[in-house]
Structure 1
């Protein structure tokens, strides 16, 4: 039986493991590589983000959507992001917090995609 996500060390493991997958992915890797020159500050920010999201620990500052909005992201990018994220969590963890982590990632991906589509006139409209 796998353990559940219970502490900051678990967050560091899943963030590091997830972004290793992202960097080598042929679809979303280039998107991240086009905007991230030094991965260490990004990873540090993600540790703080997930620590705040999952355990309510203060320390994260930022606007994640604002960083993603200018990118040319489509539905397939978010689907791949979720596939890799869920795979990473499932490799190491199971339980209430693991499920909650995947649920929150899904909600974020869905919200980001909807907001990006709305910025561009909706998913089936093009603004010229």
Structure 2
């Protein structure tokens, strides 16, 4: 289920180290995943830079930092042949990663943000690639 309300970022609840670990652990799984790995490997040229960018993104979402500079929507819209199953797989792997966190508040917040982001990116992708169709929501409960 896509959350209607996402908790406010709070730098007092999570450390930069926790955010960085979440990002690195998630991408370690995603890169090995048979459906997501090839997509990431084809489009991420510099993994060190990607880790910095994703850590900055998640730090902004979870801690309220202002280091992130970027526009995720156009980058995802530019990818060919994405589908709901891929977004749901991304969410599933993300939730598997957050289950391993020792901070339950971080898990809850990160999962809510991830569900919101996945839904927004999927809706934007559909509106861009299939403007004649009514967008269909992700079945995030099954992710």
**TM > 0.5 fold call:** yes
2:10 alignment counterpart:
none
Query: Residues of 2 paired with 1:116 and 1:93: CA distance?
Result: 34
Q: Give the alignment partner of residue 47 of structure 1, picking from 26, 47, 55.
A: 55
Moved more, 18-27 or 88-97: 88-97
Unaligned residue ranges in structure 2 (runs of 5+): 1-12, 136-143
TM-score of the aligned structures, taking structure 1 as reference length: 0.88
Query: Residues of 1 paired with 2:99 and 2:46: CA distance?
Result: 27
Query: Residues of 1 paired with 2:25 and 2:134: CA distance?
Result: 32
Query: Cα RMSD over matched residues?
Result: 1.4
2:115 alignment counterpart:
106
Query: Residues of 1 paired with 2:19 and 2:63: CA distance?
Result: 10
SS in 2 for 1:54: helix
Is residue 105 of structure 2 the alignment partner of residue 96 of structure 1? yes
TM-score of the aligned structures, taking structure 2 as reference length: 0.79
1:61 alignment counterpart:
69
**How many pairs are equivalent?**
120
Deviation at 1:31, TM superposition (A): 0.8
Moved more, 23-32 or 5-14: 5-14
Query: Residues of 1 paired with 2:22 and 2:106: CA distance?
Result: 13
Q: Give the alignment partner of residue 88 of structure 2, picking from 79, 95, 98.
A: 79
Indicate if the aligned counterparts of 2:14 and 2:62 stay in contact, CA closer than 8 A: no
